[in-house]
Amino acid sequence: MEMSVYNDIIDCIHAFNSRKCLPKLVETYPGIPVNTLGSILSQDYQKKMKKCHHQRYSTSSVEKYYQRYLQDVSAGKECVILSLADEIDLSPALTARIILEKHLSVTKHDGQSASRSQVTQMMRDTTLIEDPVLAAEVHYCVLDDDHYGPLVDCIKHSVGHEYEFKLKRKLDSLDLAYIGEEEMRARGYDKTPDIKMEVPIAVNGHVVNWIESKASFGDEHSHKGYEKDQFWSYWNRFGPGMVIYWFGYIKELDVNREKGIMLMDDFPANIVTMDPLQR
């Protein structure tokens, strides 16, 4: 995908100004896969939340939200936190976490914040929340949030494994020798791409010693982070390699092929394998 198309999609997302605008995006861009549009939407929404959520965590804001929650629940209203999240333009899961943290500090910790791990555990399993109304409210938020929260984390983890399996199945079908992350860790490697080729392959004239599978769209923000934290580390240890962004990527980011990091949106159809018996 060219940068101009990506920027147009981002402008469209901002114009819709809704975390549930995916159907509108699909209608607006019929030629772009839904997984690609969904990944772009989620990435943009998460960046938006990172920029604004600290403002929502101010002491005055938290107190205001909690009092609003108590008042609406007392009035017999339902989906209170979900409605509040939409009103303040914050992720439902993040809003639920704010209310839950405040509730625990008031009822269990004498004004002191509950531990992060305790709150996270309750977000993952709302049956651990003693207040049944709050438990239901948090549960609604987790289920409704398409971009944040424990349910989304589980889905992303599952999809990531699905595409890693797809990659391995393709390598197996081609009878290519490789090892995965678990075996690499067992051998003592500290930096582990998803696949390390035991025998290198060549793609479009470029040698590939390792493959990283990303079940997401490669936008500039995420790609630069991956380059810094992962890709160049793999390059330093194993030489040139290939990154597959299964949901597409911005073409202008593919600038390091000659240096040894090649971007693809699928496993390449034409590869060259080395014949160890040939001289």
pLDDT tens, residue by residue, 166-220: 999 999 999 999 999 989 999 888 889 999 999 999 999 999 999 999 999 999 9
**pLDDT digit string (tens) for 217-276?**
999 999 999 999 999 999 999 999 999 999 999 999 999 999 999 999 999 998 998 765
Give the pLDDT of residue 279: 53
Give the pLDDT of residue 114: 74
Give the CATH number of domain 156-273; options: 3.40.50, 1.20.120, 3.30.160, 3.40.1350.
Answer: 3.40.1350
Q: What is the pLDDT confidence band of residue 110, given thresholds at 50, 70 and 90? A: low
Task: Look at the alpha carbons of 264, 211, 171, 245 in this order and tell me if their dihedral is positive or negative.
Answer: negative
Tell me what the pLDDT averaged over the chain comes to.
Answer: 92
Answer whether residue 111 shows pLDDT above 60.
no
Compute the average pLDDT of residues 143-168: 94
Decide: 73 and 80 in contact? Cβ < 8 Å: yes
CA-wise closest residue to 80 among 89, 88, 72: 72
Q: Please give the structure tokens belonging to residue 155.
A: 């889905």
Decide: 34 and 217 in contact? Cβ < 8 Å: no
Q: Where in the chain is the domain with CATH 3.40.1350?
A: 156-273
Instruction: State which amino acid sits at residue 186.
Output: A
Give the pLDDT of residue 277: 59
Answer whether residue 52 shows pLDDT above 80.
no
What is the pTM assigned to this prediction?
0.89
Decide: 197 and 229 in contact? Cβ < 8 Å: no
- Judged by DSSP in three states, 107 sits in helix
What percentage of the chain exceeds 70 in pLDDT?
95
Specify the DSSP class assigned to residue 252.
G
Q: What are phi and psi of 37, to 5 degrees?
A: -65, -40
CA-wise closest residue to 208 among 216, 199, 217, 219: 199
Distance between alpha carbon 143 and the CA centroid of its chain, in Å?
17
Decide: 210 and 197 in contact? Cβ < 8 Å: yes
Specify the DSSP class assigned to residue 253.
G
